[in-house]
Amino acid sequence: MVCLSDLGSKGAFAIRCIWQRSHSGVRITADALARGGVWARPYMMKPARLYLVHLVFGWLPPTRCFRIKRDLLRWAGAEVGENVQIASSARFFLTGRLRIGDGTWIGHEVLIVGGEADVTIGANVDVAPRVSIVTGSHELFGVQGRAAGKGFSRPIYIMDGVWIGAATTILGGVVVGRSSMIAAGALVHRDVPAGGVVGGVPARQISMIAHGVADESN
């Protein structure tokens, strides 16, 4: 679906310019993401470009123009796979690497925020509305008289096939295992096993999903 006609001449011109620049980057595949191999160039998110990306996202229909959104994020420094679908209200505020695998859905008002730590989201992941993925935190009482001390950030890895329920918060240093499910409203501060179902604040394991999840210990 072509959306440029709905944006006016200035909006359409801005998108065309960014789109052309985005094709100079290397696209990610699901296999490459799973291998964690060497990338063609050091992908780091560029805050100034992200600011422009968010402006253009605001002109686009909420659940349309997915190819344009993918190319905009690539232009801003992200590694984005094929058939990734991103709602226009999603926001990205980080300077580390952002990697999103093939076929993943990023829902309405999703927030990915932090410092220099990487965020990796695998292939065929479903991220429901208002999920927060937060890599940054603070040392406790690192500054006299102030509870939030020196800031730091830790990477977050979300493996293939994960389903993240609405209004979930995932904190830095967490690995969410393949084909696991996080219940709506959960606060995830520790690793989630492959095929696990977790929920609550803080999140605790509820059950395991046996179907379609191979034993990763081999």
Average pLDDT over residues 123-148: 90
Q: Is residue 1 part of a domain?
A: no
Active-site residue flag, 23: no
Q: Is residue 217 part of a domain?
A: no
pTM of the model: 0.78
Nearest to 57 by CA among 44, 43, 71, 45: 71
pLDDT tens-digit readout, 143-187: 778 888 888 899 999 999 999 999 999 999 999 999 999 999 999
What is the domain range of residue 98?
7-208
Residue 148 has which token pair? 């939030």
Number of structural domains the chain divides into: 1
What's the Cα-to-Cα distance from 62 to each of 6, 59, 65, rounded to whole Å?
Answer: 13, 9, 9
Residue 212 — pLDDT band, cuts 50, 70, 90? low
Q: Is residue 66 part of a domain?
A: yes
Work out the mean pLDDT of the chain and round it to a whole number.
82
Q: Is residue 47 part of a domain?
A: yes
Q: Is residue 216 part of a domain?
A: no
Choosing from 54, 108, 138, 189, the catalytic residue is 138
Radius of gyration of the chain (CA): 18
Q: Is residue 214 part of a domain?
A: no
| Per-residue model confidence (pLDDT) at position 1 | 41
pLDDT tens-digit readout, 9-35: 444 444 444 444 444 343 444 444 444
Domain containing 24 — which CATH number? 2.160.10.10
